[in-house]
Structure 1
Amino acid sequence: MDRPARLGTKRGAVPEVVYYVAASLDGYIATSDGGIEWLSPFEGKGEDYGYAAFYASIDAVLLGRRTYEQCLTFREWPYPGKPCWVFSHGRMEITEPRVTWTDQNPHQMVRELQSRKLQRAWLVGGGELAVSFRRERLISEYIVSVVPVILGAGIPLFAAGRPQEALKLVETNAYPSGIVQLRYLRANA
């Protein structure tokens, strides 16, 4: 994936929030019970789908509570070396050293990122969390890897919510596995 590590971010500018996510062809990011096993056949075959370059381009990770809880079931913490914030309305116990619980709203979180001089944050999983940032027009970039699987039901890419948003396609990558990665920027950004 040949793209600048940072896309137009200037020091002091509002941090970029990137929704980088895999979704089934019918628009689900997980099964109804939060399962992502359907992604397993596409992992570990010598192709990282641009993940390493993307991960190197971010400064922080933003997760919803359910995504965080799922990450705790993995053998290793999947976001090493990056400060992470877990959004939850209720206080929760955090066991990872670089992870912080937050109940901030999206604008407060972006201001915190800016105060810490973190310029690019990955919004991980959580259709509801994505909608809360999208509703405030705080997602500057969408990178969606469309996986050639139809789940039929599950957790949608975006939970129901407004407003409608126009996007500009700036990059596509098709992989031999059938995954197509689409990169969009906000059309009015």
Structure 2
Amino acid sequence: MHDQRIVAGTMPKSELIYYVATSLDGFIATADGGIDWLAPFEGGTQDYGYAAFIDRIDAVVMGSATYEKCLGFGEWPYAGKRVWVLSSRDLDAVDADVTITPDEPGAVMRELEAQGLRRVWLAGGGLVAGEFRRHGLITGYIVSVIPVVLGNGIPLLGHSGDQEQLELVESRAYPDGIVQLHYRPLDPDTLSS
């Protein structure tokens, strides 16, 4: 682990990475929340960098619909990770490491930073991701574009605010047609100079 120096009175900012799969037409799930369209791309020898990514994650943030979808997987996929679920509903936590909160995105990020959680996966859904983006909290996007056109569904980013310029950090094409794109937001101050 690398040394992070804390300047008097400040705290290192946490990274919030939106790591997600999307159809070519920009949907992360069907209109009813279905993800069966991803099945032909799962279970093979290729993990698209997931194992390395999850190993470097300190915490996971998601909305209630994503949480409920994960509960249907059988085994809890985030065992050993701290998880924050944004929800205004009264949900049961599946694990002691799961926090259900009605807090807004900025408050959640302040809590994560206060707990020293530096690398956070924004696991979805699209509306929650849109809210974090609208508040300027997403520091990176790792988007796997799946060679499928859904026609409609849950958008990659819900009502997410103003235009944002991104810088391509890396791209990788896989033999099955998936293209993974890694972007980071550009500082608006550098765009105007």
Give 1:132's aligned amino acid: E
Q: How many residues align?
A: 184
Report the counterpart of residue 83 of structure 2 in structure 1: 84
Amino acid at match of 1:14: K
Output the amino acid matched with 1:176.
P
Other structure's SS at 1:38 match: helix
User: What TM-score do you get using the length of structure 2 for normalisation?
Assistant: 0.90
User: Counterpart of 1:15?
Assistant: 14
Cα distance, 1:161 vs structure 2: 3.0
User: Does structure 1 retain, via aligned residues, the 8 Å contact 2:22–2:145?
Assistant: yes
What's 1:25 paired with? Answer: 24
- Structure 1 unaligned spans of 5+: none
Whole-angstrom distance in 1 between the partners of 2:84 and 2:172:
29
- Runs of 4+ in structure 1 over 2 Å off: 9-12
Q: Take 2:13 and 2:47, find their aligned partners in 1: how far apart are those partners?
A: 29
1:1-189 equivalences in 2 (<5 Å): 12-188=11-187
Distance in 2 between residues matched to 1:169 and 1:32, nearest whole Å: 29
Question: Residues 131 and 158 of structure 2 are in contact (CA less than 8 Å); yes or no, is this contact kept in structure 1?
Answer: no
114-123 or 86-95: bigger deviation = 86-95
Change (3 A) 1:151 1:100: same
TM normalised by structure 1 equals 0.92
What secondary structure does 1:177 align onto?
Answer: coil
Please list the CA deviations of residues 143-173 of structure 1 after superposition, one character each: whole Å capped at 9, or x if unmatched. Answer: 0000000000100001123111110001001
* Partner secondary structure for residue 45 of structure 1: coil
SS in 1 for 2:143: strand
- Measured after TM superposition, the shift of residue 95 of structure 1 is 2.4
2:131·2:159 contact (CA, 8 Å) conserved in 1? no
Alpha-carbon distance in 2 for matches of 1:95, 1:162: 32
SS at match of 1:163: coil
- The Cα shift of 1:97 comes to 2.5
Distance 1:160 1:72 in 2: 26
CA displacement at 1:10 relative to structure 2: 6.3
Q: Distance in 1 between matches of 2:161 and 2:100?
A: 26
Which amino acid in 1 is paired with 2:76?
Answer: W
CA distance in 2, matches of 1:24, 1:184: 17
Root mean square deviation, CA, Å: 1.8
Query: Could you tell me how far apart the structure 2 residues matched to 1:47 and 1:76 are?
Result: 21
The AA in structure 1 aligned to 2:155 is: P
